[in-house]
Amino acid sequence: MKGNYTKSNRSVYRLTVHIVFVTKYRRKTITDEILTRLNQICADTCIQWECSLIEFNGELDHIHLLVDLNPKVAPVKLIANIKTVTSRLIRQEFAGHLEKFYGDKKVFWTGSYFIASCGGVTIEQLKSYVQDHAYPVGQFPSR
């Protein structure tokens, strides 16, 4: 298997996930300025969690992140942290803008999220790779 893998003392890995966050009530609250700030916050948060933000973009009511995870990090913990930090900072920095959409409610994101793994190969390629490394029946090396 070939690819751009990260190497640590005891592991070699590439865990790439696609994450989507949606604004509360699908309100179209994200401006260009907010999107730029969200990108900065997400990148900084990923660094703190020893992960890498590969790609970031969004629309008026949601954002997409492509993140290389560190295997020491539980995806749900990273997601919770990114959502908490982005929500808090965006609500502080863009309070006047968000008040038009949410009033005095301290919300920004919905409670849910989307996450999907997105490795560099298909499931069929992985199956083939694993199958090609099988020993013929009865010829498994002794341990």
Query: 37-79 pLDDT, tens per residue?
Result: 999 999 999 999 999 999 999 999 999 999 999 999 999 999 9
pTM of the entire structure?
0.84
Task: Give the DSSP per-residue string, 26-73.
Answer: G-----HHHHHHHHHHHHHHHHHTT-EEEEEEE-SSEEEEEEEE-TTS
Max mean pLDDT among 6-15, 105-114, 130-139 falls in: 105-114
CB under 8 Å to 11, separation ≥6 — which residues? 71
Question: How far apart are the C-alpha atoms of 54 and 113, rounded to whole Å?
Answer: 18
What amino acid occupies position 127? K
